[in-house]
């Protein structure tokens, strides 16, 4: 594999850096600040921006916001009160306020959301604008699972909280007004990693439960000749597959062409992963690439947004003792487990240190015939969305809403399982071409009535 072509800086980014040179500098963190101090600075900036946008778009009156307690703080023990309080797990729930022209619905789809922030940054308030926007535009209930963060809470706290949060949503779906069969999971950056690991665990548990239920069902052959004693009974034909994955372990999607479907009931309808961090350095599969230099981990080691130096420091804060933990390396899971994934959409930045994390998983899902859709922001760095004036940032917001609908299977584009390159110049050329075709139709528009002369 070699995806270096997507790591060449886009013209849009070059123009932006020319006007804002600080944006193009190699990502770095101040050496003289602790993790807690870095958190406070970043969270304060993100919180203020989110609140400004929330108010500017009129979301105060458009959505109802409530905080829910998923897990209470620990009681007793020798720890101090502050440490015990930090073990509390909460969620922010965003519900669209009923409009005059809205149909009355008892339940709507649900979105379980995990924020980005490289396991260190982000609070309930920093995601207020995004979650409110999604709930208002799509008429879904958004549940932001506010997982515990490093360095105060080391791995695997974040991933355990992610799974607990999802289970809480399912258990409380009726109270929240969520259709339990229409739940999608969405994650950004490290939140995409939490979303992926939660999906892996939930799908495995659901498959195991389905297999257990199948074993408990009466054997269909009990009604054949074996029971009648006529010697005519025959074993059911063995199902085979063109690959090494057993048919019962595969996940099929009703919108995917030319494949069958399992009858098992799934709790996750779809998955959306944005600029995902999915692999640890110690497990990164360099051997799958043409060379080490062909990987994003080398090509983008000094990129803005995320660099090797920042990555190493954040990994220290995360404190994962086992770098090979499957929760931190979902793209390397066995075929039988990844084949259980629901339809999955990716938004990937081409000049991102984590670019290949998402592409490796996307390629594996494609090979397993799991419906997947990829949108590549060619030549853009990790975290480019924080610059509101970029065309790519506006396109990112549009796609996020589109892909959530795609994951729910409620748009005409739900049959789209392709790879799309997102670049300002390409979209402008396509728009001009469309205008040209509309202005110069391939048919005669002249009047052809009786008064036409020849």
Q: Give the whole-number percent of the chain exceeding pLDDT 70.
A: 81
Give the integer Cα–Cα distance in Å for 406 and 403.
5
Give the integer Cα–Cα distance in Å for 354 and 332.
15
SS3 state at 389: coil
Mean pLDDT over 182-203 rounds to 97
Q: Which domains does the chain have, with CATH numbers?
A: 4-72+84-212+245-439 (3.40.50.1820)
Going by pLDDT thresholds of 50, 70 and 90, the confidence category of residue 264 is low
Q: At a CB cut-off of 8 Å and minimum separation 6, what does 67 contact?
A: 90, 91, 92, 93, 124
Q: What pLDDT digit, counting tens, does each position of 140-179 carry?
A: 999 999 999 999 999 999 999 999 999 999 999 999 999 9
What single-letter DSSP state applies at residue 277? -
Q: What pLDDT digit, counting tens, does each position of 24-46 carry?
A: 999 999 999 988 899 999 999 99
In terms of residues, how long is the chain?
454
Is residue 277 within 8 A of residue 190, CB to CB? The reply is yes
Alpha-helical (H) ranges within 118-224 are: 128-138, 157-171, 173-176, 190-216
């Amino acid at each position: 594999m070699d995806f270096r072509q997507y790591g060449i800086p886009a013209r849009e980014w070059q123009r932006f850096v020319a006007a804002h040179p600080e944006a193009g500098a190699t990502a770095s963190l101040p050496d003289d600040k602790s993790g807690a101090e870095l958190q406070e600075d970043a969270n304060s900036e993100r919180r203020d921006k989110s609140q400004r946008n929330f108010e500017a778009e009129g979301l105060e009156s458009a959505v109802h916001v409530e905080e829910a307690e998923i897990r209470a703080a620990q009681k007793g023990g020798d720890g101090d009160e502050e440490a015990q309080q930090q073990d509390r797990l909460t969620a922010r729930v965003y519900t669209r306020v009923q409009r005059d022209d809205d149909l009355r619905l008892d339940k709507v789809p649900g979105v379980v959301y995990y924020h980005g922030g490289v396991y260190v940054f982000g609070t309930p308030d920093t995601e207020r604008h995004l979650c409110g926007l999604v709930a208002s535009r799509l008429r879904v209930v958004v549940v932001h699972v506010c997982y515990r963060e490093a360095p105060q809470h080391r791995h695997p706290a974040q991933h355990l909280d992610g799974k607990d949060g999802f289970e809480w949503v399912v258990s409380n779906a009726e109270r929240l007004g969520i259709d339990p069969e229409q739940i999608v999971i969405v994650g950004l950056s490290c939140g995409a990693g939490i979303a992926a690991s939660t999906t892996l665990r939930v799908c495995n548990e659901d498959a195991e439960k389905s297999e257990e239920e199948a074993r408990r069902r009466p054997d269909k052959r009990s009604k054949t000749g074996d029971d009648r004693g006529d010697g005519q009974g025959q074993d059911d034909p063995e199902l085979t597959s063109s690959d090494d994955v057993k048919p019962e372990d595969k996940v099929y999607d009703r919108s995917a062409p030319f494949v069958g479907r399992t009858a098992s009931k799934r709790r996750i309808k779809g998955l959306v992963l944005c600029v995902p961090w999915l692999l640890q350095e110690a497990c990164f599969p360099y051997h799958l690439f043409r060379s080490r230099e062909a990987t994003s981990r080398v090509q983008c080691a000094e990129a803005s947004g995320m660099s090797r130096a920042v990555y190493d420091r954040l990994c220290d804060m995360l404190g994962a003792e086992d770098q090979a933990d499957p929760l931190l390396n979902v793209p390397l899971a066995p075929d039988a487990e990844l084949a259980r994934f629901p339809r999955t959409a990716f938004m990937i930045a081409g000049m991102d240190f984590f670019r290949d994390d998402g592409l490796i998983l996307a390629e594996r899902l494609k090979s397993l015939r799991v419906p997947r859709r990829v949108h590549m922001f060619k030549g853009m760095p990790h975290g480019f969305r924080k610059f509101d004036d970029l065309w790519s940032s506006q396109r990112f917001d549009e796609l996020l809403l589109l892909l959530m609908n795609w994951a729910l299977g409620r748009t005409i584009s739900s049959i789209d399982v392709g790879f799309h390159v997102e670049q300002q110049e390409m979209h402008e050329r396509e728009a001009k071409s469309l205008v040209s075709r509309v202005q110069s139709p391939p048919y005669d528009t002249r009047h052809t009535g009786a008064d036409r002369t020849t």
